[in-house]
Structure 1
Amino acid sequence: MSPDTIILLENKFYISANSSYADDRTKILNQTDTFGIFDRWGDIKQLGEEVQGIYHQGTRFISDLEFKVNNMRPLLLSSAVKEENELLSVDLTNPVILFVEKDNKLSIPKGEIYIGRSKFLRDGFCYETITLTNYGADKYEFQASLKFQADFKDIFEVRGIRREKRGEIFELKHTANNEIIIRYKGLDKIVRTTIITLNAKPHDWENQTTAIFHIKLKPHQSFIIQYAIKFIVGEKDYHHVMSFDKAQNQLMGDIDRYRNLFAYITTSNEQFTHWINRSLMDLKSLLAQTKFGVYPYAGVPWYNTAFGRDGIITALETLWIAPDIARDTLLFLAHNQAKVENAYQDAEPGKILHETRGGELVECNEIPFKQYYGSVDSTPLFIVLCGAYYKRTADLEFISEMWPYIEKALMWIDKYGDSDDDGFAEYSHKSVNGLFNQGWKDSHDSISHEDGELANPPIALCEVQGYIYDAKIKAAELAYALDKDKLGEKLHNEATALKKAFNERFWDEEMGWFVLALDGEKKPCKVKSSNAGHALFSGIADKDKAERLAANLLADKMFSGWGIRTLAADEKRYNPMSYHNGSVWPHDVAIIASGFSKYGFQQETMKLTGALFDASIFIDLQRLPELFCGFARRKGEGPTAYPVACSPQAWAVGAVFMLLEACLHMEINALEKKIVFKRPIVPEFLHNIIIENIKLGNKRASFELHKYKHDAGITVKEKPSDWEIYIIK
């Protein structure tokens, strides 16, 4: 296995270009460290790229799951994942079933037996109930079978990494307790176990892993098969297996506990409200419970784990409606901050996590992602989130707790981020198996010059300089709040100097653009990319340059009609079907829209909000995916799907909240106990917006915004007595 192979996979977020579970029209469930990719029948079959399965902590614990009647696959009626993303519901019926009874050839006509399947994941288990009901007029006899297999492949193996050697399955048996037990011992010496427990004893077994039931059903009689699958890593005690109903009730309780994290938003436009609600439910499904609270896992299926950059941006997108997510995210990242230099992990003291993974390959150190630090922007963004959280909540006690981690992050920026002391932060990967590019566009070909030649490291990205500027401005404010005035002044002066240097070195007057990056020889990458829009989000851009950039970002070469492309259509490496060189990413668009709003470009903010709203209407479930292709908008057609985009993806579903905040130009300032709308523009497709249950300290507020012909008004329904809510027109 060559390093180049891994780097290529890494830079494609471990997705090979021809991998496409989307073409198989799969259904996906996820819950914390477990996710399942099923076909529309509710089965798991290894077709095409062979990615279906139930995965737990980075390993595929179920690789084959098939339900049959008389050894035939049932006919599909419908299947769907429910609105809360908690349950896969499948409706099936029987094909024609031929059988012999007393030398007579008989048959069960098609469509006489209804088969309902319901399954969900919770706490390291998969639960399913299968109900078979006879809706015919005669008594019927037939067989039903359930087949289970486990290959215990690491998720990186499933996604393309080839290994010369792997562990072995050393036990496969069924027990007198209606169990199938499959055990695998990896090269990491860890035993991983799949235990399938059936609610009733099968009438027969086939090859130890197929349970067979002989079923006799009178008219309108039902037969129920239930099972639970437990996934165990290491020699742990087996957890008690709950009934399907009890486990489902507990799952719904888990979901209910997340409801109070969020404010509630309704609008006069049902489709826009549905987009908001869909995004909320998707976000809730991605919240994983850690010992530090909830953390938004990056996305399903392949990023069902904690990513630093993704978690921070999701927390920023949702800060105004769910500040507790930001708090818990900061706690998790602070306690996973790098302490020592480790080239294999791209780790340096003070650096914030890029990602964490489980599985055999990371335990064997075949890949470095158990705790991997290969991102140049997670560290400044961590400080940005700390500052934004403080302004939103005025929780100085928490900031005092975070301050040692903030100081270490600032130290990393100055000592390790700016490795050549030129005033700008650069990156170059040290891990032979790590990410080559370490900004948010981390595919291997995402940073190039105007002639298409790839940039050589160390690379100073334009958006990263903005993040560092914002981080130092916010760190200065936190220092002042903690009575560290001298440090606060120093940080503010450093930020001011960085802004001046950035606008001099990164601005290209001819292009009317901030260049994408400076390469290892300090040559500017004169490429028109969406990265420059992040300079508006951070506030590092001079006002005159911001105005010109905003106009250029919305020109036809960049604006597809659905959003801003990652790369302009006239650039050498432009490809609307690429991962980072011409596609549209909802979170990227939302960040740029937020930047437009900060500079007072409200009509431009509205244009991006309307574009993504229009895109959502064409997309299944109104769920914005990780990305979609950058083809120009065509009348009567939706955006072109990117086939391996994760969906839901946390920072994509979080985009709607940042967009709404940007349109309303809303600022929640807990330090001054006020919510201010500065010249808000209510989108033309909305007449009113109701925001309820918004958290203000230990109390809540609710209000309604109304659209008038030329401005907006507000009706306050509820608020703490010492808070003010008003509009500046």
Structure 2
Amino acid sequence: MGEGWTFAGEATQSGGDSVTLIEGSSFCLSERGGDLVPGTPHGLFHRDTRILSVWQLRLDDEEIDPLSVIAQEPYEALFLGRARPRPGYSEATVLLERRRFVGAGMREDLVLRNLGNEAAACVLTLRAEADFADLFEVKEGRVRPRGQYGVDYGDGVLALTRQWRGESRGVRIVAEGAISSPGQLTFRAVVPPRGTWRSSVLVTPVIDGVETPTSFPLERPVEQAGPSVRTTEWRASGPRIRVGDESLALTVRRSRQDLGALRIFDPERPDTPVVAAGAPWFMALFGRDSILTALMSLPLDPQLALGTAQTLARHQGTKSDPVTEEEPGRIPHELRFGVEASLALGGTVYYGTVDATPLFVMLLGELCRWGVEPDAVRALLPHADRALTWIEKYGDRDGDGFVEYRRATDRGLANQGWKDSWDGVNSADGRIAEPPIALAEVQGYVYGAYLARALLAERFDDPETAGRWRERARQLRDRFNERFWLPEHGWYAEALDGEKQPVDALASNMGHCLWTGIVDAGRAPAVAERLLSPEMFSGWGVRTLATSMAAYNPMSYHNGSVWPHDSGIVAAGLMRYGFPDHARRVAEAVLDAAAAFGGRLPELLCGFDRAEYAQPVPYPAACSPQAWASATPLYLLRVLLGAEVCVPHGVVRLDPHLPTRFGALRLTDVPLGTARVGVTVTEDGTAEVTGLPSGVTVTRERCACTAVDPPR
């Protein structure tokens, strides 16, 4: 991966007292005063390794009183603090400015401002330490010393290193005008009355003796640095929205900004963006998360979706390895590049996911529908076929026609669907399902993958292949509805367990089955009613697990919480099956939650009922921003517009069901094939589309290839 990933994002706050700055493979988590406090998750991280574990600034051996933090850009923040009053003085007269830039390490510009009428003699000390702990060790609180540590210093330079397992990690700290000593840099300054003193500190990662060039060198204006340029370009590009509801407008703007924040760029292919899963701990490419985010945000930036598909294809499995769970054709779960990434899930690339592989094929189908670079999509067809081979050879090991999972070793994820916590799949009585487990939504994704491959075959003039995959889709649909439907309950099983018995919990998974179209049309009304029942619908979205289930806990990760992306997919499924009122209720609930969070949806929220608490209750450890949560408002807008695209068949479907409170809506510069499209919806619901590519027409009817019961 060369020098690692680069990032274009926005500063975030993690909890009430922490601030996170991120730029690609580097991020910094600090307290609000700017210090990195020992014994906490604070640190400067580069390529999944903590290269600074302590960074504490003192003025005359006293702590600095924090005043404010201004997070101006994804990678930049200004920390303001004041010196404590000197003996004999009632007020402090020295203000400290710490302007921090994160990117391939860190740069910190220090300014002392003397607001008094006498010169101020100051001793500024900066304590710096590095444990070079793996990101997962830090996140999970299991840091311990490893290897041989070293310190070198002199002439304003402090170098910290660690040797372990034949590899070297280090950090070089250079401070203008400082006196260096073990673990500390000291500045002695005399600040004139009403004057200022300035210095800068550069923190550079060193990997196996090679320094990583900083993103913010002192000799270059900040606005010309790579992260600054990418952020400016993102804000100037892409679709624009004008809507009467200011809350929706704010949410859409925030979602767009956060998706820009979560883009990462491989330096080996700097023109190929992908989307990372979430900040701060998951600034990496994740198969499932990145694919679903790309699918949901495709109208915003098709290149992000294409880049995600191309990058995952490059890492598609080629061999069998039980430690990493790699198998030929399998799409990765997660890519990590720290020296101790193997401490997490077995390797720098871990493949233990059951759903990323069919979702990958679905993504290629959606790229085809939107007319994205046909030659680039055609080049990915061999990867689609390898993925389908994995589905039928490795995904369905017992040949029962369903894709199931069981982890290969005790180091892997026990659950390998999107509800991947250890207790994420359980029966109505609370019993944990035993593997191998065939999840309901995964069968839906496989169904969607078969139909996507059929569309791709049609697009590239291969009708025989198209017919074969449509027939496989039909057969899977029949099997699924026979085995997963629970007539005594009136809902679909969440899964089949290792004994091929239904896991009978009432869960949101069946909403994903609506989304892909695998649900029998005659059973869809019952599913729609269950999903909007009081036990499933919280008023802020659809719960992952019904309140009537034994394992329900509104404060759990997957057993009763509300995940915005999950509810967004449910809303899309409801709209697909002709339940616009149900879909609108879900969409409005999630968008109301977004407004309550200031326009930024977190990864998940607690599943308490809206009637119980007037505001959504945050889940404490939720990522924010998080990729598929950020994409959800954009996707919900698409759902409410009833917007579907199939350029190969010359169809754009538009059937708006917008809430009246939104007022009139206008979208401009929406990419569609080689064109830029405009969409206008008046307050009375009249819709108009302009700028369509040649041969594409607008209709309220769904394209035959996306119908609930597609033609054979």
**TM-score above 0.5:** yes
Tell me how far apart the structure 1 counterparts of residues 262 and 372 of structure 2 sit (CA, whole Å): 27
* 1:73 corresponding residue in structure 2: 63
Which residue among 100, 103, 116 is the counterpart of 1:119? 100
1:213-362, aligned counterparts within 5 Å? Answer: 213-237=187-211, 239=213, 242-243=217-218, 246-250=221-225, 251-259=227-235, 262-290=238-266, 291-292=268-269, 293-362=272-341
Which residue among 630, 649, 654 is the counterpart of 1:653? 630
Q: Which has the higher mean CA deviation after the structures are superposed, 262-271 or 484-493?
A: 262-271
* 2:182 corresponding residue in structure 1: 208
Tell me how far apart the structure 2 counterparts of residues 451 and 725 of structure 1 sit (CA, whole Å): 49
Tell me how far apart the structure 2 counterparts of residues 146 and 558 of structure 1 sit (CA, whole Å): 53
CA positional deviation for 1:258: 2.9
Which residue among 502, 505, 508 is the counterpart of 2:483? 505
Judging changes above 3 Å, is the alpha-carbon distance between structure 1 residues 688 and 452 closer, same or farther for their aligned structure 2 residues? same
* 1:145 corresponding residue in structure 2: 125
Per-residue CA shift, 1:351-377, capped at 9, x if unaligned? 1010111223335x7841311110000
Aligned length: 685
Kept in 1, the 8 Å contact 2:44–2:105? The answer is no
Letter in 2 for 1:329: T
Tell me how far apart the structure 1 counterparts of residues 219 and 659 of structure 2 sit (CA, whole Å): 45
> Per the alignment, in what secondary structure is the counterpart of residue 195 of structure 1?
strand
CA positional deviation for 1:237: 4.7
CA positional deviation for 1:724: 4.6
Kept in 1, the 8 Å contact 2:674–2:693? The answer is no
CA positional deviation for 1:26: 0.7
Tell me how far apart the structure 1 counterparts of residues 201 and 141 of structure 2 sit (CA, whole Å): 33
With the length of structure 2 as denominator, give the TM-score of the two structures: 0.92
Kept in 1, the 8 Å contact 2:14–2:20? The answer is no
Judging changes above 3 Å, is the alpha-carbon distance between structure 1 residues 94 and 454 closer, same or farther for their aligned structure 2 residues? same
Judging changes above 3 Å, is the alpha-carbon distance between structure 1 residues 427 and 728 closer, same or farther for their aligned structure 2 residues? closer
Letter in 2 for 1:631: F
> Per the alignment, in what secondary structure is the counterpart of residue 613 of structure 1?
helix
CA positional deviation for 1:615: 1.1
Kept in 2, the 8 Å contact 1:263–1:321? The answer is yes
Tell me how far apart the structure 2 counterparts of residues 674 and 472 of structure 1 sit (CA, whole Å): 21
CA positional deviation for 1:726: 6.5
* 2:159 corresponding residue in structure 1: 181
Judging changes above 3 Å, is the alpha-carbon distance between structure 1 residues 666 and 72 closer, same or farther for their aligned structure 2 residues? same
* 1:545 corresponding residue in structure 2: 523
Answering whether residue 450 of structure 2 is matched by residue 472 of structure 1, we say yes
* 2:84 corresponding residue in structure 1: 95
Tell me how far apart the structure 1 counterparts of residues 75 and 344 of structure 2 sit (CA, whole Å): 34
Which residue among 96, 104, 112 is the counterpart of 1:132? 112
Kept in 2, the 8 Å contact 1:367–1:433? The answer is yes
Answering whether residue 666 of structure 2 is matched by residue 690 of structure 1, we say yes
Where in structure 2 are there 5+ consecutive unaligned residues? 1-12, 703-712
CA positional deviation for 1:531: 0.8
Tell me how far apart the structure 2 counterparts of residues 163 and 222 of structure 1 sit (CA, whole Å): 40
CA positional deviation for 1:674: 5.1
> Per the alignment, in what secondary structure is the counterpart of residue 499 of structure 1?
helix
> Per the alignment, in what secondary structure is the counterpart of residue 450 of structure 1?
coil
Kept in 2, the 8 Å contact 1:25–1:39? The answer is yes
CA positional deviation for 1:319: 0.9
CA positional deviation for 1:396: 2.7
* 2:500 corresponding residue in structure 1: 522
1:59-70, aligned counterparts within 5 Å? Answer: 59-70=49-60
Tell me how far apart the structure 1 counterparts of residues 219 and 21 of structure 2 sit (CA, whole Å): 16
> Per the alignment, in what secondary structure is the counterpart of residue 637 of structure 2?
helix
CA positional deviation for 1:24: 5.8
Judging changes above 3 Å, is the alpha-carbon distance between structure 1 residues 723 and 500 closer, same or farther for their aligned structure 2 residues? closer
* 2:413 corresponding residue in structure 1: 435
1:374-453, aligned counterparts within 5 Å? Answer: 374-393=352-371, 395-453=373-431
Answering whether residue 17 of structure 2 is matched by residue 25 of structure 1, we say yes
* 2:4 corresponding residue in structure 1: none
Tell me how far apart the structure 2 counterparts of residues 269 and 164 of structure 1 sit (CA, whole Å): 52
Tell me how far apart the structure 2 counterparts of residues 673 and 422 of structure 1 sit (CA, whole Å): 38
Tell me how far apart the structure 2 counterparts of residues 336 and 260 of structure 1 sit (CA, whole Å): 32
> Per the alignment, in what secondary structure is the counterpart of residue 194 of structure 1?
strand
Which residue among 331, 334, 349 is the counterpart of 1:371? 349
Q: Which has the higher mean CA deviation after the structures are superposed, 67-76 or 331-340?
A: 67-76
Kept in 1, the 8 Å contact 2:85–2:93? The answer is no
* 1:611 corresponding residue in structure 2: 589
Tell me how far apart the structure 1 counterparts of residues 429 and 231 of structure 2 sit (CA, whole Å): 51
RMSD across aligned C-alpha pairs, in angstroms?
A: 2.2
CA positional deviation for 1:234: 2.0
1:682-721, aligned counterparts within 5 Å? Answer: 682-708=658-684, 711-714=685-688, 716=690
Tell me how far apart the structure 1 counterparts of residues 621 and 478 of structure 2 sit (CA, whole Å): 41
* 1:463 corresponding residue in structure 2: 441
Tell me how far apart the structure 1 counterparts of residues 345 and 700 of structure 2 sit (CA, whole Å): 53
Kept in 1, the 8 Å contact 2:133–2:143? The answer is no
Answering whether residue 569 of structure 2 is matched by residue 591 of structure 1, we say yes
Kept in 2, the 8 Å contact 1:355–1:369? The answer is no
> Per the alignment, in what secondary structure is the counterpart of residue 622 of structure 1?
coil
CA positional deviation for 1:672: 4.6
Kept in 1, the 8 Å contact 2:18–2:29? The answer is yes
Tell me how far apart the structure 2 counterparts of residues 419 and 165 of structure 1 sit (CA, whole Å): 42
CA positional deviation for 1:231: 1.4
CA positional deviation for 1:540: 0.5
Tell me how far apart the structure 1 counterparts of residues 208 and 682 of structure 2 sit (CA, whole Å): 57
> Per the alignment, in what secondary structure is the counterpart of residue 361 of structure 1?
coil
Letter in 2 for 1:670: V
Kept in 2, the 8 Å contact 1:128–1:244? The answer is no
Per-residue CA shift, 1:607-658, capped at 9, x if unaligned? 1121112112222x42211111111114773211111111111111111111
> Per the alignment, in what secondary structure is the counterpart of residue 101 of structure 2?
strand
Answering whether residue 475 of structure 2 is matched by residue 486 of structure 1, we say no
Answering whether residue 36 of structure 2 is matched by residue 44 of structure 1, we say yes
Tell me how far apart the structure 2 counterparts of residues 274 and 707 of structure 1 sit (CA, whole Å): 19
Tell me how far apart the structure 2 counterparts of residues 217 and 260 of structure 1 sit (CA, whole Å): 42
Tell me how far apart the structure 2 counterparts of residues 594 and 91 of structure 1 sit (CA, whole Å): 46
CA positional deviation for 1:157: 1.7
Judging changes above 3 Å, is the alpha-carbon distance between structure 1 residues 163 and 268 closer, same or farther for their aligned structure 2 residues? closer
* 1:12 corresponding residue in structure 2: none
Which residue among 520, 527, 534 is the counterpart of 2:512? 534
Kept in 2, the 8 Å contact 1:582–1:629? The answer is yes
Tell me how far apart the structure 2 counterparts of residues 438 and 629 of structure 1 sit (CA, whole Å): 22
1:603-642, aligned counterparts within 5 Å? Answer: 603-619=581-597, 621-634=598-611, 637-642=614-619
Letter in 2 for 1:226: S
Tell me how far apart the structure 2 counterparts of residues 406 and 287 of structure 1 sit (CA, whole Å): 24
> Per the alignment, in what secondary structure is the counterpart of residue 500 of structure 1?
helix
Identity %: 32
Tell me how far apart the structure 2 counterparts of residues 158 and 237 of structure 1 sit (CA, whole Å): 23
Where in structure 1 are there 5+ consecutive unaligned residues? 1-20, 99-105
Letter in 1 for 2:47: Q
Kept in 2, the 8 Å contact 1:707–1:713? The answer is no
CA positional deviation for 1:25: 2.0
Judging changes above 3 Å, is the alpha-carbon distance between structure 1 residues 81 and 635 closer, same or farther for their aligned structure 2 residues? farther
Per-residue CA shift, 1:47-100, capped at 9, x if unaligned? 5xx211011111100101112221222222222423x423222222222122xx
* 2:26 corresponding residue in structure 1: 34
Tell me how far apart the structure 1 counterparts of residues 395 and 15 of structure 2 sit (CA, whole Å): 41
Tell me how far apart the structure 1 counterparts of residues 523 and 403 of structure 2 sit (CA, whole Å): 22
Kept in 2, the 8 Å contact 1:310–1:650? The answer is yes
> Per the alignment, in what secondary structure is the counterpart of residue 226 of structure 1?
strand
Kept in 2, the 8 Å contact 1:226–1:244? The answer is no
